[in-house]
Structure 1
Amino acid sequence: MTSPAAPVLPPLQSATGYAGDVSPEQAWAWVQSGEAELVDVRSDAERAWVGFVPGAHALAWKQWPGMAVNPGFDSGVQALGASGKKLVLLCRSGVRSIAAAQRATELGVQAYNILEGFEGDPDGQAHRGTLGGWRVRSLPWQQN
């Protein structure tokens, strides 16, 4: 009897100012294997209204309303990175998580951006959640 083949994951994409970009599937594989911690850098409001990944660390990069940089981000990301594990950062579309990964890297943490984010890019009707993203790829998530 043969064992099922492991899923083929896309290679890392290089980046400037942080460790790299990874697909949602690669990020989840690292989390499942214990290599990485998943950090959701969306605002508290986004996680509450749109959905979240169970077990992810909630550490907003910018906080609603006003979208000002979270003054607790630096200490929070340093604490999460103290274990030496990779941090994979998730936002709505994979844009804020780049800035958060760059800041984490400046602070000495190995941080990766998750491509497409939680909701992906907007479609032709400007709706998110249909073109890529964590949810569309059927990775674990739930909604309150």
Structure 2
Amino acid sequence: MDSSTYYTALGYNCRSNSGAENIMKHLTPKEAAKFLHDNPSALFVDCRSEMEFFFVGHPAGVSHVSWNDGPDWEINPHFVGEVRKLAGHSGDRPVVLICRSGNRSVDAGHALEAVGFTRVYNVLHGFEGELDDTHHRGSMNGWRFEGLPWEQC
């Protein structure tokens, strides 16, 4: 089931506020860092699991709302509501999403667009980046690879 269908099943109105189709924009980690610097009102959300967020590390200053989490890895039915609350109930506030490698954040972004968020951005390659030829992350791309500010709990 795709995100829009899931959120429709939960009772959300999955139409854009403007009536126009939203198109998520994709930013490299460095572009995202510049965008966040240039747009201080933007909301930066890490949508990885709680374990990833705390133990692997996360961008400095990011808010955390899991898109899905263990042990069952089902989509968090409160994701949209939690992001809405952080955004001050404004669908026009820019929301920048990051996950491990840039995939979950796309699904999370589609869910936000489905309920009317109009300025959604995905961080390509995420926090850890893509797998290299030896199946390791962090050696080719990603927020941490680019040397951008991050912290670990």
TM-score bracket for the superposition, by shorter chain length: 0.7 to 0.9
The alignment yields a C-alpha RMSD, in angstroms, of 1.6
Could you list the per-position Cα deviations for residues 14-51 of structure 1 after superposition, in whole angstroms to 9, with x for gaps in the alignment?
A: xx964211111121112122152210000101011210
Could you list the per-position Cα deviations for residues 60-112 of structure 1 after superposition, in whole angstroms to 9, with x for gaps in the alignment?
A: 10112221111210101222333432101000000000000000011111211
Tell me the TM-score normalised to structure 2 length.
0.78
User: Counterpart of 2:143?
Assistant: 134
Match among 50, 55, 60 for residue 44 of structure 1: 50
2:120 equivalent to 1:111: yes
User: Counterpart of 1:5?
Assistant: none
1:78–1:107 Cα contact (<8 Å) kept: no
Identity %: 36
Residues in 2 aligned to 1:48 and 1:18: alpha-carbon distance in whole angstroms: 31
Match among 103, 107, 130 for residue 121 of structure 1: 130
User: Counterpart of 1:69?
Assistant: 75
User: Counterpart of 1:95?
Assistant: 103
- Structure 2 stretches of 5 or more lacking a match? 1-20
1:101–1:112 Cα contact (<8 Å) kept: yes
Partner SS state of residue 61, structure 2: coil
Q: One-letter code of the match for 2:72?
A: G
Q: One-letter code of the match for 1:19?
A: M
- Structure 1 stretches of 5 or more lacking a match? 1-15
Tell me the TM-score normalised to structure 1 length.
0.83
Residues in 1 aligned to 2:23 and 2:121: alpha-carbon distance in whole angstroms: 7
Partner SS state of residue 78, structure 1: helix
Greater RCO (Cα-Cα under 8 Å, separation 6 or more): 2
Give the drift of 1:117.
0.3
